[in-house]
Amino acid sequence: MKILITGGKGMLGGTLQREFSDCEVVVADLPECDITDPAGFERFLAAARPDAVIHCAAMTAVDRCESEPELAWRLNAFGSGVVAAACRRQAVRLIAISTDYVFSGDLDRPYHEFDTPGARTVYGITKFAGEEQVRRFCPEHLICRISWLYGGNGPSFVHTMLKLADSGPEVLKVVSDQIGNPTSTNAVARQLRLLLARPELNGTFHLTCEGEASWYEFACEIFRQAGVTRRVEPCTTAEFPRPAPRPANSRLEKRMLRWCGLPPMPDWHDALAEFMRERRA
């Protein structure tokens, strides 16, 4: 099997390279490959001739998307259309990675795959537009939504907390009124492998770890597992205003995994423990 990974040098791309090390992997990232260059991407894909594309490339800096919206539209929406159209023309299976930010976060239960999106940020709006490009230009696709991601060398919330543990203030204040599913790149990569082994599957899947936490609870567990003694205090979103409002509820229900008979995602505590073990090694 030959896999092409757009954004392959990024956080998830790095883990995918390792997870698929028994396959032939082609990294499609800047500067060699630009997903916003239609002719260039078409040529790159034709030369690589992969069996599947995992499309990770995106503008992921959520606050920067607010200040540079044209670049966010270009990468997240237009770029996804370029990748999708090329995959369709060259009959390559496409897995596009998306996000919980496509939802408003207002619901009082986890979002399932058939809930109506309602993004509130430039990042979420442009990522949903990217999903729609994939649905329109490449009907044979998988769209996999993930959230609260960490892995490899980051950057992520876990990496930030571990850095603050070494050099941060005496008392750390962490937001406790946003909840989600902390999710490791390892867990996502393994589930993508299982999805790729099922050529009959199509559509939108949620792929976050099982169990939920607030950022505050997540921080406490990171320090507990890292063996760090650090005072952490809960605070509200209102105390930490950000350019892009964060969804209060980022929890995703994995209905499609269940219906398609795929194994559940691991519990987030176990996935974090695996990350910590790898980090120590």
Ligand X SMILES: NC(=O)c1ccc[n+]([C@@H]2O[C@H](COP(=O)([O-])OP(=O)(O)OC[C@H]3O[C@@H](n4cnc5c(N)ncnc54)[C@H](OP(=O)(O)O)[C@@H]3O)[C@@H](O)[C@H]2O)c1
To ligand X, the closest distance from the beta carbon of 167 in angstroms equals 23
Between 156 and 176, name the residue whose CB sits nearer to ligand X.
156
Distance CA 257, CA 191 (A): 9
Between 188 and 220, CB nearer to ligand X: 188
Q: Toward ligand X, which CB reaches closer, 30 or 231?
A: 30
Q: Which residues contact 63 (CB under 8 A, 6 or more apart)?
A: 242, 243, 244
Closest contact distance (angstroms) between CB of 66 and ligand X is 15
How many angstroms separate the Cα of 236 from the Cα of each of 137, 178, 216, 243, 246?
41, 8, 10, 16, 12
| Least gap, CB of 98 to ligand X (angstroms) | 7
* Residue (192 or 232) nearer to ligand X, CB: 192
Q: How far apart are CA 95 and CA 134, in angstroms?
A: 9
Listed as own residue / partner, the contacts of 27-31 with beta carbons closer than 8 Å and 24 or more positions apart are 28/4, 28/53, 28/57, 29/5, 29/57
Distance in Å, CB of 266 to ligand X, minimum: 17
Closest distance to ligand X from the beta carbon of 276 (Å): 18
Cβ proximity to ligand X: between 233 and 243 the closer is 243
The residue at minimum Cβ distance from ligand X is 10
The residues binding ligand X (CB under 6 A) are: 6-7, 9-13, 29-30, 33-36, 56-58, 60, 75, 79, 97, 99, 127, 146-147, 149
Residue from 101, 111, 123, 216 carrying the catalytic annotation: 123
Angle at 157 between CA 173 and CA 189, to 5 degrees: 155
Surface-to-core class of residue 211, CB atoms within 10 Å of its CB (0-12 exposed, 13-18 middle, 19+ buried): middle
Helix axes 38-48, 79-89, angle to 10 degrees: 40
Instruction: Please confirm, yes or no, whether 123 is among the known catalytic residues.
Output: yes
By annotation, the residues acting in catalysis are 123
